A and B are shown apart, each in its own frame.
Chain A
Amino acid sequence: MLRYTLHRLLMMIPTLLGVAVLVFFMLRVIPGDIVEVKLRGDGGTVSQEMIDYERKRLGLDKPLIYQFGDYMYGLATFNLGISMWTERPVTEEISLRLELSLQVAIMATLFAVLLAIPLGTTAALMRGTWVDYVVRIVTIGGLSIPSFWFGMLIMMGLLYYWNWLPPITFTSIYVDPVANLTQLIWPAMAVGYRYCAVVARMIRSSLLEVLNEDYIRTARAKGVFEKVIISRHALRNALLPAITVIGIEFAFLIGGLVVTEQVFNLNGIGKLFVQSVARSDFTLIQGMVMMLAAFYVFVNLVVDLLYAVFDPRIRYG
């Protein structure tokens, strides 16, 4: 297991290297110049001399291969560089938003998983009954309603019925847990509903399949209690595909909540991503792509390791 984990961790290096090369060169062929956008971007009129000076200051006058060398050296030394727009370290810009985005992702995942497992299981076990139909309607609703729109409904509902809205600026959970949770529970619910619908449907279909397997029939023939069959044999196997979906969804939530973040005025990674692209802030885009890529790879590794926990047949040697 340890060997497998180390092997997978080492395999992350060429994957991330490929991402780094791709993102560096793809950004350079996309039209847009950070210096033009930065100096002329707030309506100022600047001379060509000023633009050249700024390009030199940011190192953009160097040949591409030198810039690439600097970038790769930075990555090797865990230095993502300085944001060309804000002139602050990229790590500082990301970490400022990461706590919020990570917390929303964790809360949404908890909300989704805690609801999806009982919903999906109940629907599968009561297949064809009114309970199954209700769960299916609720989950189809979750798949059909965009998270940002559900978020807007939540906000309008809070305003309409209680004339109240959650805090508009972020407070760390370590500083004020109440303010923190009061702000983030709503976006977590908004994105968690869709997330829950995906997972619940996956569990339902997977459980229905597992319940028809020979080993379930054998267990029943042996007289094992139904509760034990469901929890120990059926659900455990049915959760395997759901774990993959949970992992992918969780990683997506870190950087993919652009519109939902706007609805709740959240200062998250998604908003930063869009802003940095609009500003052609190469260093920040590169840093965020690398962070998200590493996150995806890491989550996939965790998912693979969880497979072994849930399915004893799987052993990584």
Chain B
Amino acid sequence: MKSVLGFAGMLAFVLTGAIAPADAQQPKRGGTLNFAISAETPHYDCHGSETYATLHFSAPFYSTLVRFNLKKFPEIEGDLAESWTIAPDLMTYTFKLHPNVKFHDGTALTSNDVKATYDRMRTPPKGVVSPRQATFADIGTVETPDANTVVFKMKAVNASMIEHFASPWNCIYSAKDLAADPNSPRTKINGTGPYVFGEHVKGSHVTGRRNDNYFKKGLPYLDGFRGVFTLQAAAMLNAVQGGQLLGEFRGISPAERDRLVAAMGDKIRIEEESWTLNLLVAFNVEKKPFDDVRVRRALLMAIDRWGGSAGLSKISTLRSVGGVIRPGSPLATPPEELVKLPGFSKNMTAARAEARKLLKDAGVPNLKFTLHNRNLAQPYTPAGIFLVDQWRQIGVTADHKQYDTAPYLATLNSGNYEVAIDFSNLFMDDSTLSLAKYLSFDRSPQNLSRAIDRELDKLYDAHVRERDVEKRKGMIRAFERRVFEQAYQQPILWWHRIVPTHKTLMGWEMSPSHNLGAQLETVWLNQ
């Protein structure tokens, strides 16, 4: 028996050794990672931001309570939390913190810091922006029985609460700093993360140096990092090709990937995965004639998503056809069911004939409007051109207007548009996050259609409390059907993430979201 076990053990060793990936090498210490950040954050506050630009800048300096294990996504692992328990009724979450964690200013982290952080997000003081306030509305109280224990007591069940605790935006701040100035995290960095803030040269770069007091022994491997703001894709590609930058962790287009592969051969590593990001088309129901469901449905029915996917995936980061949940993820609607939903037909001749009829019935057969879009080449511009062409085929004229990011978002959020290309930037596949964008406008200001639909709200609330996965799936399908029948807004296509890194860069984990994995604690350089 002993020899059998010994042989099995040896076989297992040989097999694992044989198939072990290159990343399984012994990590080397030292070196500075230079990488590209394609946008510059206006502030450092994770809580107050919804752009990756803030995370790629700030995440290496901070820790969160728990986070996603990218090797086993979407499993959750502890970050500051050494362990945690969830009550069977999902009404109490107890987190035990790692002992001896210190902020970069030398003060010790306690449960009070976690409480102050979550209180800031749940009930932001005057002048503090907290876009995820609604996410934590189900939390009743945050208790701190001792310095290393935090207890969240819920007002209502939220079956996905632990995933929300793992949000990369939940950087833990110092209670002392927040007490002195609740808005201090916008301009000052004091975290417990693997790197200590070095400098931010506006318009140029951010640097971090190794946190020698990091609570995870032996980490990080790097001496430091330098995130260089490369707002122009050509400059970024040149820098990656020339070796000044070892990677860009958001994602590049297929053409950019092909250029790097052709120029660099086996020196570049390309990782690809479907992305938790989609572009949507949103109709402002407060503007005529988009208050008429026939008009909205006609415009969605005219879009050939399947044909668009085949064409756009060659030139842009757009690829998969999907509903409100990322295609291919466990809760997503499979293609055979998707084609039955309004706007997803493969018979475009019939769909466009019906779209024309709907427009005629609505009294706007030659509809003209402005399509508001962001002036980013990838993938907004091709998506806008694609939509204008699709609508032209049913006699609709759309004037394609593109703006810089900030005025684009400001225009959309102020409701000063008719039709717009919007985006849904998620960090996980959980439906409580994906569906929230489609809730009534008075509950979800991120719903740019500004529609009020209590039936959708009811379906959403029921599904949040539902713990049975199959029942939950059924509710998601019903929600999705309602959204598409009412045609307030609808995903055009889901993105495809392509990340280029030099092969000397090791320990970085690919995931479906560019918002995850930005801490860089396990990254090392094989030089």
Which A residues form the contact surface with B (CB < 8 A)? Answer: 32-33, 36-46, 50, 53-54, 57, 85-88, 93, 96-97, 152, 155-156, 158-159, 163-165, 167-170, 262-265, 267, 271-272, 275, 278-280
Contacts and interface: CB of A to CB of B under 8 A. Distances in A.
B212 to A, nearest CB: 25
A278 B228 contact: no
Contact of B232 (A33, A38, A50, A262): A262
B20 interface: no
Contacts of B129: 39, 44, 46, 50
Interface stretch (B114-122, B197-205, B504-512): B197-205
Given A42-B54, A85-B42, A263-B234, A167 B244 contact: yes
Nearest to A162: B242
Given A40-B410, A165-B239, A262-B232, A86 B202 contact: yes
A36, A164, A263, A272: residue with the most chain B Cβ atoms closer than 10 Å: A36
A31 to B, nearest CB: 9
A87 B425 contact: no
A148 to B, nearest CB: 10
B41, B406, B407, B446: residue with the most chain A Cβ atoms closer than 10 Å: B406
A44 B203 contact: no
A133 B457 CA distance: 76
Nearest to B263: A159
B235 A263 contact: yes
Nearest to A41: B406
Nearest to B231: A262
Contacts of A275: 203
Interface in B441-457: 445-446
Contact of A168 (B187, B201, B245): B245
Nearest to A31: B407
Given A37-B406, A44-B129, A263 B242 contact: no
B204 A87 contact: no
B232 A40 contact: no
B410 A165 contact: no
A278 B39 CA distance: 14
Contact of A40 (B54, B226, B245, B413): B413
B49 A42 contact: yes
Contacts of A39: 129
Given A39-B129, A169-B204, A267-B203, 10 more contacts: A40-B410, A41-B42, A41-B409, A42-B50, A45-B131, A54-B127, A57-B127, A88-B202, A164-B242, A263-B232
B409 A169 contact: no
Contacts of A37: 406-407, 409-410
A309 B89 CA distance: 89
A42 B202 contact: no
Nearest to B187: A87
Contacts of A96: 201-203
A44 B232 contact: no
A53 B228 contact: no
A169 B201 CA distance: 10
B381 interface: no
Contacts of B414: 36, 40
Nearest to B375: A278
Contacts, number: 123
27 contacts: A37-B407, A41-B409, A42-B53, A43-B49, A43-B51, A44-B49, A45-B413, A45-B446, A88-B202, A93-B202, A152-B234, A159-B241, A159-B242, A165-B243, A165-B244, A167-B244, A168-B228, A168-B239, A168-B245, A263-B234, A263-B235, A265-B239, A267-B202, A271-B231, A275-B203, A279-B406, A280-B407
A33 B446 CA distance: 20
B440 interface: no
A39 B245 CA distance: 31
Minimum-distance CB pairs A-B, first 5: A165-B242, A41-B406, A43-B50, A45-B445, A278-B404
B35 to A, nearest CB: 11
B404 to A, nearest CB: 4
Contact of B238 (A32, A54, A165): A165
A57 B186 CA distance: 15
Given A43-B50, A44-B48, A169 B127 contact: no
A89 to B, nearest CB: 12
Contacts of A93: 202
Contacts of A36: 410, 413-414
Interface residues of B, number: 46
Contacts of B50: 42-44
B72 interface: no
A143 B232 CA distance: 25
Given A37-B406, A263-B234, A265-B239, A42 B203 contact: no
B56 to A, nearest CB: 13
A53 B129 CA distance: 11
Contacts of B201: 96, 169-170, 267
Contacts of B241: 159, 165
A168 B244 contact: yes
B431 interface: no
Nearest to A32: B407
A50 B127 contact: yes
Contacts of B407: 32, 37, 41, 278, 280
Nearest to A54: B127
A294 B484 CA distance: 58
A271 B232 CA distance: 11
A53 B126 contact: yes
A164 B238 CA distance: 10
A169 B238 contact: no
Contacts of B34: 168
Contacts of A54: 127
Interface string B223-261: 000101011101110110111110000000000000000
Contacts of A44: 48-50, 129, 131
B405 interface: yes
Contacts of B230: 168, 265
Nearest to A167: B244
B409 A262 contact: no
Nearest to B54: A42
A41 B410 contact: yes
Interface in B409-433: 409-410, 413-414, 425
A50 B129 CA distance: 8
Given A167-B244, A168-B239, A42 B226 contact: no
A233 to B, nearest CB: 48
Given A40-B409, A42-B409, A262-B232, A272 B203 contact: yes
Given A42-B51, A45-B446, A96-B201, A262 B410 contact: no
A42 B42 contact: yes
A272 to B, nearest CB: 6
Contacts of A164: 242
B41, B53, B234, B425: residue with the most chain A Cβ atoms closer than 10 Å: B234
Contacts of A156: 238
A58 to B, nearest CB: 12
Contacts of A163: 242-243
A45 B131 CA distance: 6
Contacts of A168: 34, 228, 230, 235, 239, 244-245
A42 B209 CA distance: 27
